[in-house]
């Protein structure tokens, strides 16, 4: 069993899932299909949570991978958010 690469997830999400949902919704609106429009209206919160989670996980991966690449290129670890907050609090004292 092969593992799924994040690039594959990004391509599938941005080139297949989002356009297919958008085209389906636009088709329902264009043709005046009331059941389809009501279905999308009732699923709005679920779709927002689904896409928010998918894009959120992808964004976290991309951000972490960018920090890894910078650390490899410079030889220094990039400070995390917690490190930056601690540094800011220590400066204030």
Question: How do residues 13-58 score in pLDDT, each as one tens digit?
Answer: 889 999 999 999 999 999 999 998 999 899 999 999 999 998 888 8
In a domain, 41, yes or no: yes
Write down the pTM of the prediction: 0.63
Which residue range is the domain that position 57 belongs to?
A: 6-92
Q: Which residues contact 47 (CB under 8 A, 6 or more apart)?
A: 21, 40
When divided into structural domains, the chain yields a total of 1
In a domain, 28, yes or no: yes
Q: What is the DSSP string of 23-52?
A: HHHHHHHHHT-HHHHHHHHHTHHHHHHHHH
């Amino acid at each position: 069993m092969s593992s799924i690469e994040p690039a594959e997830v990004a391509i599938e999400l941005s080139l297949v899932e989002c356009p297919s949902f958008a085209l389906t919704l636009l088709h329902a609106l264009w043709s005046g299909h009331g059941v389809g429009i009501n279905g999308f209206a009732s699923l709005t919160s679920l779709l927002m949570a689904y896409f928010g989670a998918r894009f959120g996980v992808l964004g976290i991966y991309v951000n972490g991978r960018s920090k890894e690449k910078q650390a490899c290129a410079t030889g220094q670890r990039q400070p995390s958010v917690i490190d930056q907050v601690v540094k800011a609090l220590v400066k204030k004292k």
